Amino acid sequence: MIRVAVTGALGRMGSNIIKTICEQEDMEVVAAIEVPNHPKKGEDVGELIGIGKIGVPLSTSDELDKVLKETKPDVLVDFTIAHACVETVKIATKNKVKLVIGTTGFTEEQKKEIENAIKENKVSAVISQNFAIGVNIFFKTLEFLAKKLGHYDIEIVEMHHRFKKDAPSGTALRAAEIIKENREIPSEYVFGRYGMVGERKKEEIGIHALRGGDVVGDHTVIFAGDGERIELTHKASSRQAFVNGVILAIRFIVNKEEGIYNTFDVLGLNDIKF
Ligand SMILES: NC(=O)C1=CN([C@@H]2O[C@H](COP(=O)(O)OP(=O)(O)OC[C@H]3O[C@@H](n4cnc5c(N)ncnc54)[C@H](OP(=O)(O)O)[C@@H]3O)[C@@H](O)[C@H]2O)C=CC1
Ligand SMILES: O=C(O)C1=N[C@H](C(=O)O)C[C@H](O)C1
């Protein structure tokens, strides 16, 4: 059995991840962690998320080191918030726990802190801004489009629910990075536009974040030329799309001793070249 700890256990992603792990034959939840001073600390997490008793009490992140030493997970899954994730990674890697990280909104400095902790402690991790299989195919398609239409005007539009804390989404930023890496001309990110912006430069990649309602996650990349345009869109209608990828990532990383991987590694998409 793969022993899994989940941080952000009562969150939109964490709670669905716990539910789905409980449905798998080869893995079990051994620890579920929330913010310090959580009013439900000690209560059964299964009952808190509506699936009935699972025998795992809710723990809090101020006791993470102790919880990991007691429960000995193979893998920790983190879908929380950037600053919290950095601290979790430092503690988990010291305890030699492997990682699946889905949290977004990191600064460049936070990304380095996470990478250093993983490398210094010689553990393995999957880090991905989007675990949905469809989004990873969307990313792969973008490699092709950026190679062929990198000289077109490229704009990225994302929409998410009103509760999302970071903007633009990690997925939109990864899409921009893929375009930058694959087009022949240099790139300059432009976050929204306002006022007398003047003529659009070829190098620009416009990135626009919309927020509202209960939208799970929509991403569109527009390649606009003279007399035509291509719009590539992915729409997630259920968080289960992300959760299914997380389950694959847990099975993948448990067999890796050391290194930082992404969802292309998990899904075997690295060998597809255009
Ligand atoms: N990579 C991917 O495929 C996906 C990534 N995400 C990302 O995952 C993250 C979480 O999203 P979502 O589930 O919607 O957010 P939620 O706010 O619903 O869940 C986050 C949970 O983490 C808790 N939390 C905060 N700090 C800590 C801590 N130190 N230790 C333990 N738990 C903590 C929060 O508690 P409290 O509310 O009390 O602060 C909350 O319950 C975001 O960064 C989002 O962008 C989301 C979907 C897919
Ligand atoms: O916060 C969310 O909800 C999501 N976050 C991820 C992101 O920032 O890209 C992935 C997904 O779009 C949902």
Residue with tokens 């990304």: 111
Instruction: State residue 111's pLDDT score.
Output: 98
Please give the C-alpha separations between residue 7 and each of 11, 54, 94, in angstroms, as whole numbers: 9, 16, 16
* ipTM associated with this complex: 0.99
Residue 62 is classified by DSSP as: G
Instruction: Report the chain's mean pLDDT, rounded to a whole number.
Output: 98
Instruction: State residue 265's pLDDT score.
Output: 98
Does the C-beta of 160 come closer than 6 Å to ligand 2?
Answer: yes
Instruction: State residue 70's pLDDT score.
Output: 98
Read off the pLDDT band of 205 (50, 70, 90).
very high
CATH architecture of 2-127+239-267: 3-Layer(aba) Sandwich (3.40)
Domain locations along the chain: 2-127+239-267, 133-236
Does the C-beta of 129 come closer than 6 Å to ligand 2?
Answer: yes
Give the integer Cα–Cα distance in Å for 69 and 51: 26
Give the integer Cα–Cα distance in Å for 157 and 98: 33
Cα 140 to ligand 1 centroid, rounded to whole Å: 26
Does the C-beta of 170 come closer than 6 Å to ligand 2?
Answer: yes
Give the integer Cα–Cα distance in Å for 41 and 19: 19
133-236 carries CATH number 3.90.180.10: no
Q: Among 13, 85, 130, which residue has the most ligand 2 atoms within 8 Å of its CB, making it the best to mutate?
A: 130
The mean pLDDT of 208-230, rounded to a whole number, is 98
The mean pLDDT of 49-61, rounded to a whole number, is 98
**Could you report the per-residue pLDDT of 138-171, keeping only the tens digit for each?**
999 999 999 999 999 999 999 999 999 999 999 9
Cα 14 to ligand 1 centroid, rounded to whole Å: 7
Is 160 tagged catalytic? yes
The mean pLDDT of 39-51, rounded to a whole number, is 98
Give the integer Cα–Cα distance in Å for 174 and 180: 10
Closest CA to 214 of 171, 254, 160, 148: 160
Residues with CB under 6 A from ligand 1: 7-8, 10-14, 33-35, 61, 79-81, 84, 102-105, 128-131, 166, 170, 242
**Could you report the per-residue pLDDT of 257-268, keeping only the tens digit for each?**
999 999 999 999
The mean pLDDT of 163-192, rounded to a whole number, is 98
Is 96 tagged catalytic? no
Rounded to 10 deg, the angle between the 133-149 and 170-182 helix axes is 30
Structure tokens at 12: 């939109």
Q: Among 12, 104, 237, 244, which residue has the most ligand 2 atoms within 8 Å of its CB, making it the best to mutate?
A: 104
Closest CA to 78 of 58, 96, 98: 98
Counting beta carbons within 10 angstroms of the beta carbon of residue 227, is it exposed (0 to 12), middle (13 to 18) or buried (19 or more)?
Answer: exposed
Read off the pLDDT band of 59 (50, 70, 90).
very high
Instruction: State residue 156's pLDDT score.
Output: 99
Read off the pLDDT band of 214 (50, 70, 90).
very high
